[in-house]
Structure formats: structure tokens, C-alpha cells
Structure 1
Amino acid sequence: MSLRIVVCVKYVPDATGDRRFADDLTVDRDDVDGLLSELDEYAVEQALQIAEAAEGAEVTVVTVGPEDAKDALRKALSMGADRAVHVEDDDLHGSDVMGTSLVLAKAIEKTGYDLVVCGMASTDGTMGVLPAVLAERLGVAQVTLVSEVSVQDGIVRGRRDGDTASEQLEASLPAVVSVTDQSGEARYPSFKGIMAAKKKPVASLDLSDLDLEAEEVGLQGAWTVVDSAAERPARTAGTVVKDEGEGGKQLAEFLAGQKFI
């Protein structure tokens, strides 16, 4: 049987945009552009490299999100993934990592997999725990935060780099892997890839397809919620030091007053 690789990707608000909370204290996604999380591009790249080394391997990208999340899937498909799965349901609004991991686990099981590849974290929540929670829900081994990964003879191997040493990790498939932003630059979609992505299949699923109830996900099922939020204060004008012979002294006094020196 050919290797079945599933990549979990996320559609996130553009970090350069003006991000805000909505009235229900979830992230307001309507007034800011979204895109494929940059850290997930590394996961797509590593999945494609593994597939290229394994004859007949197939790469499926999966996301949970609103209608616009298809843009993230199309980006991954244009990079070279074979097909996509989009889980969309109004009752998913407000899902935290526990709800999202539950939905992803159900979708991945329905899709079929040997290896699941994730980014090290999302660029909006930046929690970095979803791969481990997902592996627990699937009941498989996890090889997380690796900067180098390969698959051979039913074994996934990876190198995890720490501050003082590197670890060599391995696990039997099926398994969940997360890769860091040191795993290698993600490829740019070619024009041919962009055109081909338009014809690749994108399956749509909702909660009923995954045998899940609304109260298990969304704000109803969230383990974590935002209780309150306030807008960041507007930036105030800085202090201008005019050098008329005493500039260095004034600068030192200012830094000392701010306890920088």
C-alpha cells in the first residue's frame, strides 16, 4: 500500500493586518485578510519531500475553518499536494485547541493516514500543542519539533535540535510529526502548480459527517475562553533629544530614567 500522508494546515489572519476581537471575544476574521499559516508551509514542504522519496505516496491537506479557509488549501495544493479536505460548520466557531484537535482527528481517521505532518505552531494562537494532543486522540506515536524528518521501511525518523544538544527520534507508523521552521524553505507555487490546483479535489465535511455534536466543539465545548479584552493603547509620541552639546548626557539620563542602564 502506498504511503498516505496527511498535512494539517490552518487559515490564519494576516499578522500585518489590524487584528481585533469580535463581540463574543473570538478573533474577528471578517475585517482582516487571511492566509495559510507560514509555519504550516514548512509542514507541506516536508510532506512533499517525503512523498517524492516514496513512490506512489499521496499527500492530503486538511483544514478546519470558514469558507475562506479554502484559500489555505489551494495554496497547499498549488505547492504540490494531491487533494484536500475542508471541515466547515457554523457550530465550529470559537473552537479552541481541544475542539479543533477532536475535529481534525475525526477527519484524519475518515480520510485514512499513515503519517500526519503539522507545523510547530500556528501563527495566530502560537500554542504549539495541537500535534501532541492530536497524536493522543489518534492513539499513535508523536515525533515533534523536528528540523529534519524522513520515512523509510515504516519508520519515521527526525532530529530535534535543542539549545545544548540534538536528539535523534524515531517511531513506527502510523505517527504524528511536527516540523520546525528550520526544516527547510518551503517551495513557491509555480504557475503550472497554481493552475493544476484548480482541478484537484477538495472534499467538504461538516460535524454530522464526523459524528460529532455541536456541544463538543465551538464555544460550547471550549476548554479555554477569553474573559475580557481591551484595545492596545495608541502609540504616543516619543521623546526627542536635540543635541546642542549635551545630547549624550540627556540620552544617558533618559535611559537611566527608564532603567535601561
Structure 2
Amino acid sequence: MAYIQMCGIVIREVQVGEADKIVHLLTDRAGIVSASAKGAMRVKSKLVSATGLLTYSSFSLYEGKAMYIIEDAKVLNQFWNLRKDVVDLSTAVYFLELIRRLSPDEPDLSGHLRLLLNTLHFLDAKKRDRLLLKALFELRLLAMSGYMPDLVGCCRCGGYECAGGMLFSPQNGNLLCRDCAQPGDGGRYVPLSPGLLAAMRHIIYSDFSALFNFRVEPETGAALARLAEQYLLCQTEGGFQALDFLKSL
């Protein structure tokens, strides 16, 4: 029997019977896959730790008739610190729901995995503001999953910046400068401060190596969090259960 080695993070788990479960993994080489973890619900199982939600593990699998079968697994990171805070944990679970809903059905989702792992790392280490990480994850994931906004310049004149400021449409995902704005545009466009626009452009266009290397003023960060969520809900069908729960805390 040929075994396949891959690393992945558990983004969903479903109990099957009393002892087994099926896990959905975001992997480094096969996109999102389903795998059977036999006996993983038993406390003494060798798979119990490595197949828990939000656990990043190295897996040894083989192909079954309907899905992969996990033969062995080794924990690489369980992000223990974020599990100690209900808001951090709920934020992480929300990230998993976004991954499940927005990721394209492709075998190479290594960029999505890298984004998720790095965001969870900063959340777990409390090295970045939670709302800033949430906005960053939402915008970058949307851009990677076919919902990239056009922040290069005004959609009418092409201007990169405008003395009067720029406006952004969460519905259309584009920019409009105040010089080109018309009376009927007011309800569809949101005014952006220079700092907010710079932060959005950084999140969307920067190389991944520099993605987390920026800071914003608290007021800008709060505006970024609101706008990123608004853009997400406008571009998708909404109905994110984990987001609703997070906002109820």
C-alpha cells in the first residue's frame, strides 16, 4: 500500500459513530481534502491530538474508495494560546469558515494555507491587533479567491490619488476620485482616508513576505475592519455563522 505524505490544518471535523470522524484538511499539496480518521474520538487514539480542529499536522494517508484514510499523524502546531480566549478562538473558527466557503476547488491552495497559518500565528502570539488581522485575512483571502478589488486608480479617470480624496464601492470593488464623483454616486461609495487606502493597497498588492509588516492608527484600523467586512458581505452571499457568533460576543 502506497502512503502519501502531506501537511495540513483541520478546517472541519464530523464525528462518525462513536469512535471515528471525518476531517477536512487544507493541505500543502492537494488543496482541500476529506480524510477518515478511524478511532480518532477515543482518548487513547494516536490520532486524537493531530486531527482536532485548528490543528496543523503532518499526515500519512492512503487513498480509500471515497476519501483518504489517515494512517498516522504528527502534530506540528495546535495554536494553544488562542484557545484560551473565546474571542480569539471564535475569530480563528471564522477564518476556517471563510476558507471553506471562499477557497476555489483547486489542488494548489498553498497560498491559502500560508495565509491561514501566518494569521493564526500572529493571533496566537498576540503580536497584532485582532481586528486588524481579521480585516487583513478577509481582504487578502477575497483577493486570492477571485474577489480582488481594483485599488489601482479611479475607475473613471485612472488617477492613483486625488487631492480631494478617494471613494470606494463595496458593491463594485473599485475606486472613484472625488473629482469624478457625481451626485448619484454618494450612496454606493465610501470615503477613504489616505491611511485607510494605503492599508488596503498594502493588504491586496504587497508581496506575502511583507504582508503583515504594517501598522495603522487605531481609528484607521477600526475603519479598515468595518470596510473589509462590508466588502466581504457585499461580494459573497453572506450567512457566515461563525461571524454572527463572533459579533454576538
Determine which structure has more spread, i.e. the larger CA radius of gyration: 1
What TM-score comes out, normalization by structure 1 length? 0.23
With CA pairs under 8 Å and 6+ residues apart, which has the higher RCO, 1 or 2?
A: 1
